[in-house]
């Protein structure tokens, strides 16, 4: 079983190989004091509530 640190290293390696030169930063929305938030998927969620199943309707509509 992989430790959290091992998984983090695997993710970093994958990101560097797949997206070379891309630097991830903090979420842009939280960087400014004044901001607008648009919720295009109101009441739509990636996971079916109470399960680990993907909500495929979410991915086909948004």
Question: How much is the pLDDT for 62?
Answer: 46
pLDDT in tens, 1-39: 778 888 888 888 998 999 999 887 777 767 778 877 777
Q: Give the pLDDT score at 61.
A: 56
- The whole-number pLDDT of residue 29 equals 67
- Complete DSSP assignment for 43-57: T--SB-TTSS-B-HH
């Amino acid at each position: 079983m992989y430790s959290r640190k091992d998984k983090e290293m695997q993710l970093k390696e994958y990101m560097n190989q797949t997206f070379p030169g891309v630097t991830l930063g903090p979420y842009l929305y939280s960087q400014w004091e004044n901001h607008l938030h648009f919720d295009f998927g109101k009441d739509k969620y990636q996971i079916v509530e109470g399960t680990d199943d993907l909500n495929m309707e979410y991915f086909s509509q948004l």
